Chain A
Amino acid sequence: MNKTIEVVQVGIADYQIAKEHQHLRTVGLGSCVGVVLYDLHSHVAGLAHIMLPSSNISKGSSFNLAKYADTAIPAMVSELNHTFNTTRNRLHAKIAGGAQMFQFSNQSDTMRVGPRNVEAVKETLQSLNIPILVEEIGGTNGRTIEFDPVTSKLTVRTIYKGTTTI
């Protein structure tokens, strides 16, 4: 009963997988989006801290799958499937983040990256037939989130506005 919970930290442009007795946590989501994929039956989950909507805009030589919505989500799905034998049709998603940290009158694409990340995450999940059960997105505040694969509760903390569990 009283097993200690290990908190698995997920960095920016990173994803991690966790099982029972582990929580997944990522700190300070601004325009980034945190995507939790979980399987209720086997109590495993993955959390990605997605920074950019699409890998098409990558101009670099190195390529980090976990940075983009269109590559991080499929990579996480296949890792969950391979490691824990989850099947895609049992996966559900919870998402949080995608805020606009600074209010710009000039709505250039870079400045709107929060909403664009959310759109891209939703499109990718839809194409994989993974339903989003709850979301806590948009706004102008940063969020820290923590997910418990056993209860499938997602705790969202913002400064001055407190903590909610979704």
Chain B
Amino acid sequence: MITPEQFTDFHKDVLKEIGNIGAGNAATALSKLVHKSVDMSVPSVELVPFNEVTELIGGAEMVVAATFLRVSGDAPGNMFFILSITEAVHLTQQLTGDQSITEETILDLEISRSALQETGNILAGSYLSSFSDFTGLKLAPSVPFLTVDMVAAVLSHGLIEMSQVSDFAIIIDTQLIDSQRNKTGVEGHFLLLPDPESFQTIFQALGVPIK
């Protein structure tokens, strides 16, 4: 099994391309949903110690709305769509037309809950289907799970598989950005965390030599 510590720059570039294609499609889906143009950052693929994972998103205690999906199939893994709480409130207000949604009520109200969950579902779904098309691997997302909490508490859940083999996580991170740089509920992070065994499958599917 290839462990993240053994990755070459070429391996990381291949993973970046997955982030690029996946988030590109997801950005298009989000843009259609909110009728705004959505830009995307260049994906980053980082090998980070667990302690620093939360720094990617803005600090361990930052409050975020996170949709989590467990990916099963040929290359199992974990996927997160993460919005800062302010962005999540904007997004749900926009999608539902209900301006009374606040940081405190976003998880309690059925309508904002399902708006967020469904957004995560659509975006992660389009990310994964392009990942699947690109690699020819069969991937099936679970139903989306939603929570609002501190980044560290949320992300540590996605590190469990990797933590059994390593103290490092390999995270494919792509950020979505509103074209006008306004806070309009579209600035989010896609994080893909393949299980340790999945990297070999992904590289093999793309004909990338392991060593």
Contacts and interface: CB of A to CB of B under 8 A. Distances in A.
A75 to B, nearest CB: 16
Contacts of B154: 30, 101, 142
A99 B167 contact: no
Contact of B104 (A27, A113, A160): A160
Interface string A24-41: 000111111000000000
Interface of B: 3, 50-51, 54, 60-61, 63, 68, 103-104, 142, 145-157, 159-161, 163-167, 196
Interface size class of A (residues with CB under 8 A): 35 or more
Given A12-B50, A103-B145, A28 B156 contact: yes
Contact of A28 (B68, B152, B167): B152
By secondary structure, the B interface counts as mixed
Given A62-B167, A159-B148, A14 B153 contact: no
6 contacts: A27-B60, A29-B152, A51-B159, A59-B164, A59-B196, A141-B149
B160 A110 contact: yes
Given A62-B166, A141-B149, A11 B61 contact: no
Contacts of B146: 102
A52 B161 CA distance: 10
A106 B72 CA distance: 13
Nearest to A58: B164
Contacts of A14: 51
B51 A12 contact: yes
Q: Please give me the 5 A-B residue pairs with the lowest Cβ-Cβ distance, nearest first.
A: A28-B152, A142-B153, A30-B153, A102-B145, A11-B51
Interface string A6-48: 0000011110000000000001111110000000000000000
Given A27-B152, A30-B153, A99-B153, 13 more contacts: A11-B51, A13-B50, A13-B163, A28-B54, A28-B150, A30-B150, A51-B50, A52-B164, A58-B164, A102-B146, A104-B145, A144-B61, A159-B148
